[in-house]
A and B are shown apart, each in its own frame.
Chain A
């Protein structure tokens, strides 16, 4: 493959994607302390459809199917969101 900028971008798609997302998260961590709604504004977050792992059975079935047909696997963690109630 000819060494051009486009080819470089194409070849390193995954790395570029990861870099983009990580830098987004990095800036967020730096100034995220006031990011997010007030505690009394968590009504929508409390809905089941908005939970981070709203259908664990379906997610497990999907992970298993894709793991058996593809070369990549997993990657998810499940914590956070929700009504934020104590």
Chain B
């Protein structure tokens, strides 16, 4: 095919244009060039509203806002804000019993002599005054709650508001190298976390391969309501110990490879080490009678001071003729003895326009931590570490979800995602003694999440 005839016509036309071209035309052309260049969106606002509801337990509502701003050709600024309101019952860690059980927790310190109007504290508890030590100038208010017989003990006073913000910067350095850095801050009623992160990425093989490395340092402070309890001491209404801190370093190495025109694969290895206060200050473990299985006392849980985690994560995205499939696998292990495997599958089914329907399934399986125990038995030696927190137990969980995405205008998208989470552990372990044999020691956890999203790019 010969371009020439077309070209010469264009050239003639151009010459004519140039000959008569006054500044007017050029100015017009220039303005068009500016408009065309501004075609690429430089700002993205991403908003989300999460509603989380566990059956009979915790509920949370969380609005999120993310802002991504292209500063110039090589720099991007990101800002994120989130507010998290959580309320509702959460497991205490204690075992259920054929007899009603009482649990006490300190919640306020008042100056000695302050008149106290005994009201029902949150969650239907009874407020009691803890007798002050001699010479004390303050006294402690504690709440005692009674759980009926054959009821899985839940802490109903759980209510918290969390604020979090993060900021990040990404810079292209040239020669296929990009660096990024950021900070994050999170604050809730009894906990504060601050972190800083750095990362670097290098493109190779004509942008088909990307190597990346990142490191994150986090510093946390716990200041639980009622103070920090001494691990494996008997639960009581006394005000506990001072604030407790923890620090964590995470490092990640990643390799992303465009395998074919349709298939993108990414493999990441991450290592994390943390030192400091790892206990859950509100969780207890029951000490039961060796014959009857009745709880005789409740101890505050204890976890090691150190935790080292490792995980390997493989992500695959495949673009079919219209649809996109994503399949991820993760293997995890830590020095607490927890090992887990996660498999995640998403299928984005494209509808007319750019709307889509995306079903999602996730399977998760974890083994118990070394020091996880459903309960301790009187007469047996007290272990160094013990926790009845079912999050550290052996269980498997499935998630089933469906997301619907709809582009609204040029550059904006609306989405809604509904998911169902189902966690099952062994509620009737073979070794259960006495009355514990008839109890469900690990009730299934089911939760529904709804995530509304709206993102706008301009």
Contact = CB atoms under 8 A, between A and B. Distances in A.
B201 to A, nearest CB: 4
B254 A41 contact: no
A46 B179 CA distance: 21
A58 to B, nearest CB: 7
A37 B208 contact: yes
Contact of B260 (A22, A36, A56): A36
> Is chain A's interface secondary structure helix, strand, loop, or mixed overall?
loop
Given A37-B208, A57-B64, A79-B212, A70 B48 contact: no
Contacts of B47: 57
Contacts of A50: 264, 317, 319, 324
Interface residues on B, range: 35 or more
Interface string B319-340: 1000010000111111010111
A33 interface: yes
Nearest to B174: A86
A1 interface: no
Contacts of B366: 70-72
Nearest to A84: B207
Contact of B214 (A60, A77, A84): A77
Interface in A32-86: 32-39, 41-45, 47, 49-50, 52, 55-58, 60-61, 65-66, 69-82, 84-85
Interface string A9-34: 00001110110011001001100111
Interface stretch (B8-16, B138-146, B286-294, B306-314): B306-314
Nearest to B333: A14
Contact of B319 (A44, A58, A72): A44
Closest 8 CB pairs of A and B: A80-B256, A84-B207, A36-B208, A80-B210, A77-B254, A79-B212, A75-B311, A79-B201
23 contacts: A14-B340, A17-B312, A21-B331, A32-B257, A34-B205, A36-B205, A37-B258, A37-B260, A45-B264, A50-B317, A52-B256, A61-B48, A61-B50, A65-B449, A70-B397, A71-B366, A75-B330, A77-B268, A77-B313, A79-B199, A79-B212, A80-B254, A84-B208
